[in-house]
């Protein structure tokens, strides 16, 4: 067995429900998001985790704390796995972005790998830091199982990389709030064991 990474998107926030771009804005979980985090923690309670990592953003940290508490572990902050910086889009709704940046929004939906957000990041830059972070995890936990709480774009890129697909396929994958995916890394290979699992959220409304 190699490194297993159980990766979750953070629980829902009020901005998710409002369809408002968060990026690197430090939003917190909603009541619904906290319930989702608790459900995810319960679903992972019987896994043997060597560590719990999270993006530095509050919504990821809070989700990770619920999971870590079940294992008596601290939450280790992993800056490489924070969300893409969306620059001027942050705080705007999808409708507002469509109105203010129509050409850029169309490119983001059709050719996301060609876009560098105004005052923000490109997918290439995010991918580079994610791969650096993944390398650090593999060095520290070569045969361990760890949990990583991160964000929609970040997790999409991780999964695409495991499948050997390029960032231009970003929208081929959807990652729901508090959904669980599981990746394994051995030598130079990666295996996707499960993706966007939501059965633990039955009875809870989902976030964007």
- Candidates 90, 78, 28, 87; CA nearest to 54 is 78
For residue 161, pLDDT over 90 is answered with yes
| DSSP strand pairing (3-9 vs 180-186) | antiparallel
Q: What is the pLDDT of residues 47-65, one digit of tens each?
A: 999 999 999 999 999 999 9
What is the 3-state composition of the chain as percent helix, strand, coil, each rounded to the nearest 5? 45, 20, 35
For residue 168, pLDDT over 70 is answered with yes
What DSSP designation does 165 have? -
For residue 208, pLDDT over 60 is answered with no
Distance CA 75, CA 70 (A): 12
pLDDT band at 187 (very low <50, low <70, confident <90, very high): confident
For residue 104, pLDDT over 60 is answered with yes
- Candidates 179, 198, 181, 177; CA nearest to 17 is 177
What mean pLDDT value characterizes the chain? 95
Cα 13 to chain centroid, rounded = 14
Q: Could you list the active site residues?
A: 10, 83
Rg from Cα positions in the chain: 16
Six token digits for residue 131: 């791969």
């Amino acid at each position: 067995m190699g490194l297993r990474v159980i990766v979750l998107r953070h629980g829902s926030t009020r901005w998710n429900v409002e369809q408002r771009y968060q990026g690197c804005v430090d939003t917190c979980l909603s009541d619904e998001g906290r319930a989702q985090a608790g459900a995810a923690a319960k679903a992972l309670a019987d896994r043997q985790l060597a560590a719990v990592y999270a993006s530095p953003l509050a919504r990821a940290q809070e989700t990770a704390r619920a999971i870590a508490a079940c294992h008596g572990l601290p939450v280790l902050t992993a800056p490489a796995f924070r969300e893409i910086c969306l620059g001027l889009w942050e705080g705007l709704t999808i409708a507002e972005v469509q109105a203010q940046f129509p050409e850029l929004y169309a490119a983001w939906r059709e050719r996301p790998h060609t876009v560098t957000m105004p005052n923000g990041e490109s997918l290439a830059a995010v991918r580079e830091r994610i791969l650096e972070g993944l390398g650090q995890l593999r060095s520290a936990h070569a045969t361990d199982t760890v949990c990583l709480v991160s964000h929609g774009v970040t997790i999409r890129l991780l999964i695409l990389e495991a499948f050997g697909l390029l960032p231009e396929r970003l929208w081929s994958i959807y990652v729901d709030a508090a959904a669980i995916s599981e990746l394994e890394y051995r030598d130079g290979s990666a295996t996707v064991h499960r993706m966007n699992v939501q059965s633990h959220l039955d009875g809870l409304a989902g976030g964007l």
